[in-house]
Amino acid sequence: MLQDKHAAGTPAEGWTEPRATALLVLQDGTVLEGFGIGAVGEAIGEVCFNTAMTGYQEILTDPSYAGQIITFTFPHIGNVGTNDEDTESVNAAASSGIRGVIIGAAITEPSNWRASRHLDAWLKARGIVGLSGVDTRALTALIRDHGMPNAVIAHDPGGNFDIEGLKARAAAAISMDGLDLVPLVTSSQRFDWQESTWELGEGYGAAGSPTHHVVAIDYGVKRNILRLLTHAGCKVTVVPATASADEILALKPDGVFLSNGPGDPSATGEYAVPVIRRLLDEKVPTFGICLGHQLLGLAVGARTTKMHQGHHGANHPVKDKTTGKVEITSMNHGFAVDPTSLPVNAVETHVSLFDGSNCGIALTDRPAFSVQYHPEASPGPQDSHYLFDRFVKLMDAEPASKA
């Protein structure tokens, strides 16, 4: 049932329910009606929910969401508008990887001094189809009970929909299992990164005098990861996901970073894992985040599995088993490393306190470690920034061969 945001109490005589201008059609045939926002058209993707209360622009531009339709559980999305500083994708292709957005309340006018554009206009400019006015709590409960469904999201200002056709397209949608989406978001060529962290009143800083050279393999990297590497004193060179081990080693890195990204890690691993194994054999200090964590796990012989509902939010408690401390983290992943499949040379270092799933590993015979969550946040807490310093200390302790 649609909820007219202008109606209150008992409808007056002659009142008619407003016509739906957007639909979400799930793969099981369920149809949710609402009001269209953003681009006109339709898109197919996997529906997930995100529990973050802030940072929707960073979430909507996170390349790890490529192929997905995001449902925000927090109702007031769009209230601070959008700006030119909070985009997380490195390239334009990555920023359009998201398939759609679902929100509860209608978008209000921006009420923040940093806003430069209304969220609706921002979505239109990026071709992102959106839907408002639905019960996002009920949709979230459905996902929790039945898993992340494929769906079609459609927006037509005239409310003209071929519902049976939409149901057929939703039912025929390709599963995320076995899907390599990294080619949609990775950089097309190598480049150097110069931007450092953001400061109020100053904006983003510039790289200083680096002490280490890090090659970041871009599977869909977020800007703030690169900024924090720069802030930690690293010269950062970004290479495409298809870069060979020889190409990476020719840059003589002190360390290699394995980035976040979308899709099924086992599919991306077909070309990424051999490269990572070569880097490990050369004992290059290695740090992975999110998809990079999963690929490191695959490279040492572990398995990855599809999660029921995934982890998407900025309030996930994780225990660091090496220190005993608990940190609140930002997460965005639908696959996880199976801890029972870890080899003897891979130690579990972090674990989710929500469901016990693996959130980090470190190798005992190679200078390499990784975490499932996003220590760079954006959005989210900064509890885990220490991991970038840990990477620098690893490069200090295990200098990579320059031969």
227 plus 334 within the same structural domain: yes
Give the CATH number of the domain where residue 152 resides: 3.50.30.20
Q: Are residues 276 and 316 in the same domain?
A: yes
In a domain, 6, yes or no: no
Per mean pLDDT, which range of 167-176, 194-203, 235-244 is the poorest? 194-203
User: What is the tens place of the pLDDT at every residue in 109-162?
Assistant: 999 999 999 999 999 999 999 999 999 999 999 999 999 999 999 999 999 999
Q: Tell me, what's the pLDDT at 403? A: 42
**pLDDT-derived band at 270, boundaries 50, 70, 90:** very high
**Same domain assignment for residues 304 and 210:** yes
- Specify if 156 maps to a domain: yes
What mean pLDDT do residues 1-7 have? 39
**Are 185 and 89 contacting, i.e. CB atoms less than 8 angstroms apart?**
yes
Asked whether residue 388 is domain-assigned, the answer is yes
- CA 21 to each of CA 121, 156, 160, 166: distance values in angstroms, whole numbers, following the listed order: 17, 5, 8, 14
pLDDT in tens, 56-106: 999 999 999 999 999 999 999 999 999 999 999 987 654 558 999 999 999
The DSSP 8-state label assigned to residue 366 in this structure reads: S
Confidence at residue 208, expressed as pLDDT on a 0 to 100 scale? 83
Residue 256: burial class (beta carbons within 10 Å; 0-12, 13-18, 19+)? buried
Q: Is the dihedral of CA 222, 200, 78, 75 positive or negative?
A: positive
Count up the domains in the chain and report the number: 2
- Count Cα atoms within 13 angstroms, Cβ side, for 367: 22
Domain of 233: which CATH number?
3.40.50.880
**Do residues 186 and 109 both lie within one domain?**
no
Same-domain pairing of 262 and 381? yes
For residues 266 and 291, give the distance between their C-alpha atoms in angstroms, rounded to a whole number: 10
Do 34 and 146 fall within a single domain?
yes
Q: Which residues are catalytically annotated?
A: 290, 374, 376
Give the pLDDT score at 7.
36
Indicate whether 211 and 355 sit together in one domain. yes
Domain end, chosen from 136, 171, 206, is at 171
Same domain as 187, residue 110: no
pLDDT at 2: 42
What range does the domain containing 336 cover? 182-397
